[in-house]
């Protein structure tokens, strides 16, 4: 273990993509009466909102799932929340201020609410109000919410299965995270001393966002993300006069629309003419979920080794903790 990695985050990354079955077990015994819902709303912040992004992208690709899905980051429920909403309240710590505020609104609204947490105030309030709780029983010390996304995704999907809104995932893809490690380390060395920007198709925009967040929190350095085709109508123009050392990473799927793949290629060529470094990663897998998990693992390794390149312990997020104390 690297001496900078005091919490052995490397081991967490090795196991991370394959922890879906355990997340599924967390929710297997939570059964609710089946009913009709107006929409699905997932409330969370930071790492606790990431499973909402993944779940939303996954469900939108399922033909038999017809509910509108909203991932809400903030103090308030979206305006389309009503008594018929199915609301997932997600906070790994159970103490996230914004998410607890959404819980209070959901209770007053009288919607169908389910809490997802490892404990804290969210568990306490939920039990007092007879709100079902999916509790994450994860025995890692210094475990960070950003690495609970696959647990939470699988747990949320299983709850939807229990309610009858979608089918159970019988076979999760097994990702060999170790085989991706060297590629992630190599890319981290290239990115060092650059500002990384991650691009993907609309289908994989939550993956690009995940890369950005992991680089921020693990490597403690700025990173940004965007998606096609939207970025071709605005952000691209900003590189007419690039005033920093950027490194553009394209997350590409062979299942992306041909029009999107063509946009990616043209954008890459335009950037390279401006001497902007670009790198393409082909997402490997036989399904959307497998491609997503491959990309997730790749991004984890890049952010992990970029942290080590900068002499940072990748696990703690001291600035976030200091900010919470100041609040």
* Statement to judge: residues 147 and 211 lie in one domain: no
> 283 in helix, strand or coil?
coil
* Statement to judge: residues 152 and 185 lie in one domain: no
Per-residue pLDDT averaged across 243-256, rounded?
95
In angstroms, the Cα distances linking 246 to 87, 194, 227 are 39, 5, 16
* Statement to judge: residues 84 and 226 lie in one domain: no
Residue 138 lies in a domain: yes
Give the rounded percent of residues in the chain with a pLDDT score beyond 70.
96
For 185-215, what is each residue's pLDDT tens digit? 999 999 999 999 999 999 999 899 999 999 9
Give every CB contact of residue 91 below 8 A, 6+ residues apart in sequence: 44, 45, 48, 99, 100, 115, 116, 117, 120, 122
Residue 124 lies in a domain: yes
> 84 in helix, strand or coil?
coil
Residue 273 lies in a domain: yes
pLDDT of 245 > 80? The answer is yes
Q: Report, in this order, helix, strand and coil percent for the chain, each rounded to 5.
A: 50, 15, 35
Q: Extract the runs of DSSP E, i.e. beta strands, from the chain.
A: 39-43, 69-72, 85-91, 112-117, 133-135, 195-201, 224-228, 246-252, 277-282
Q: Residue 192 belongs to a domain with what CATH number?
A: 3.40.50.10490
Query: By residue range, what is the domain housing residue 39?
Result: 9-163
Q: Six-digit token pair at 147?
A: 């690495």
Q: How confident is the model at residue 141 (pLDDT cuts 50, 70, 90)?
A: very low
* Statement to judge: residues 113 and 190 lie in one domain: no
Point out the least confidently predicted range of 62-66, 244-248, 282-286: 62-66
> How many structural domains compose the chain?
2
For 79-124, what is each residue's pLDDT tens digit? 999 999 999 999 998 999 999 999 999 999 999 999 999 899 999 9
| pLDDT for 45 | 93
* Statement to judge: residues 103 and 189 lie in one domain: no
**Phi/psi at 87 (nearest 5 deg)?**
-115, 120
| pLDDT for 140 | 47
* Statement to judge: residues 23 and 158 lie in one domain: yes
* Statement to judge: residues 19 and 141 lie in one domain: yes
Quick check: 106 and 44 in contact, CB under 8 A? Answer: no
Neighbours of 176 (CB within 10 A): 12
Residue 81 lies in a domain: yes
Per-residue pLDDT averaged across 58-77, rounded?
87
* Statement to judge: residues 146 and 214 lie in one domain: no
Quick check: 95 and 121 in contact, CB under 8 A? Answer: yes
Please give the Cα distance from 157 to 115 (Å, whole number).
Answer: 13
pLDDT of 274 > 50? The answer is yes
Catalytic residues: 217, 233, 324
* Statement to judge: residues 158 and 304 lie in one domain: no
Q: How confident is the model at residue 317 (pLDDT cuts 50, 70, 90)?
A: confident
* Statement to judge: residues 147 and 189 lie in one domain: no
């Amino acid at each position: 273990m690297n001496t900078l990695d005091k919490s052995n985050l490397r081991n967490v990354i090795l196991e991370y993509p394959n922890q879906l079955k355990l997340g599924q077990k967390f929710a297997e015994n939570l059964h609710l009466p089946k009913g009709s819902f107006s929409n699905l709303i997932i409330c969370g912040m930071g790492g606790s909102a990431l499973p909402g992004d993944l779940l939303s992208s996954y469900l939108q690709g399922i033909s038999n799932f017809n509910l509108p899905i909203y991932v809400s980051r903030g103090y308030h429920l979206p305006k389309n929340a009503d008594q018929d909403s199915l609301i997932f309240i997600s906070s790994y710590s159970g103490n996230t201020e914004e998410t607890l505020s959404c819980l209070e609104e959901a209770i007053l609204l009288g919607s169908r609410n389910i809490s997802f947490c490892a404990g804290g105030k969210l568990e306490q309030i939920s039990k007092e109000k007879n709100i079902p709780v999916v509790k994450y029983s994860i025995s890692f010390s210094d475990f960070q919410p950003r690495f609970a996304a696959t647990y939470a995704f699988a747990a949320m999907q299983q709850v939807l299965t229990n309610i009858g809104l979608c089918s159970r995932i019988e076979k999760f893809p097994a990702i060999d995270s170790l085989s991706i490690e060297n590629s992630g380390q190599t890319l981290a060395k290239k990115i060092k001393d650059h500002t990384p920007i991650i691009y993907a198709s609309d289908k994989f925009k939550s993956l690009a966002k995940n890369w950005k967040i992991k680089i921020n929190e693990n490597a403690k350095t700025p990173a940004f993300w965007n998606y096609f085709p939207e970025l071709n109508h605005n952000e691209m123009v900003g590189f007419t006069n690039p005033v920093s050392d950027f490194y553009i990473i394209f997350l590409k799927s062979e299942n992306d629309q041909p029009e999107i793949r063509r946009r990616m290629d043209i954008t890459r060529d335009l950037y390279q003419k401006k001497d902007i470094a670009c790198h393409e990663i082909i997402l490997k897998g036989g399904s959307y979920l497998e491609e997503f998990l491959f990309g997730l693992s790749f991004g984890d390794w890049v952010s992990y080794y970029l942290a080590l390149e900068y002499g940072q312990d990748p696990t703690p997020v001291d600035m976030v903790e200091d900010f919470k104390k100041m609040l």
